[in-house]
Amino acid sequence: MTRESRDAVLGALRRATGRDSNAAAAAASVGDRLARHARNTIPARGQRDRRGRLDLFVEQAEAVDATVALVSGAADVPGAVADYLRGENLPTRLRMAPDPKLDAYPWDEAPLLDIEHGKGEASDTVAVTGAFAAIAETGTLMLVSGPETPTTLNFLPDAHIVVVRAADMVACYEDGWDRLRATGRMPRTVNFITGPSRSADIEQTLQLGAHGPRWLHIVLVGDGPGEVEGSDG
């Protein structure tokens, strides 16, 4: 059935587009477009220096109900996570992505945190993951799936804490795609996450935490003193 249907649909499209008369030129045009993946207009908004992008990211993420903590270096990350959980009255038991990038942080220095590694489970309340990139334009996090970065952590827990390096801050989605192409692999899943889960399906009343996390907390990690702490937010 599908073979016959495929031929019928594509045949109809070829007739409608007059493909017989322009096949070579059309194929070249499509091939070129797919190979070049040229950029269209990029909003000027994100085209700032590194510091400006950080400020924009924080502003945009907070506008969509994410919270952001700015820390000057890797050493401060575990403490920032612990502080956040305490402040929100969330449990200290957390599920962490088995991501070597996260191993760079000295979790032993936050002994109250009860850390398990693995993919997300139904019983998880808090997840901690890294991010492939952060996109200043709209305060968006870009996460990719892989053995070390399971997607379920992004959606099953009530609270999602994302630790992202300031060095991974890019201006726009297109910068994110270029970085991803540079890795040479296309993961099963790319998640653009902009704020926590929400729904306005009941009487147009916006509520957070529909099916995904109700809390999205972003720990933004600088490369040293002074890089991020003075930032707005």
Residue 72 beta carbon to other proteins: minimum distance, rounded to whole angstroms: 28
Residue (92 or 191) nearer to other proteins, CB: 191
Residue 68 beta carbon to other proteins: minimum distance, rounded to whole angstroms: 16
**How far is it, in rounded angstroms, from Cα 78 to Cα 86?**
12
With tokens 């038991």, the residue in question is 93
Residues 42 and 161: beta-carbon distance below 8 Å = no
Residue 23 beta carbon to other proteins: minimum distance, rounded to whole angstroms: 9
Residues 209 and 158: beta-carbon distance below 8 Å = yes
Residue (31 or 87) nearer to other proteins, CB: 31
Which residue, 35, 118, 120, 130, is CA-closest to 74? 130
**How far is it, in rounded angstroms, from Cα 219 to Cα 205?**
29
Residues 142 and 134: beta-carbon distance below 8 Å = yes
Residue (84 or 173) nearer to other proteins, CB: 173
Residue 193 beta carbon to other proteins: minimum distance, rounded to whole angstroms: 6
Residue (8 or 75) nearer to other proteins, CB: 8
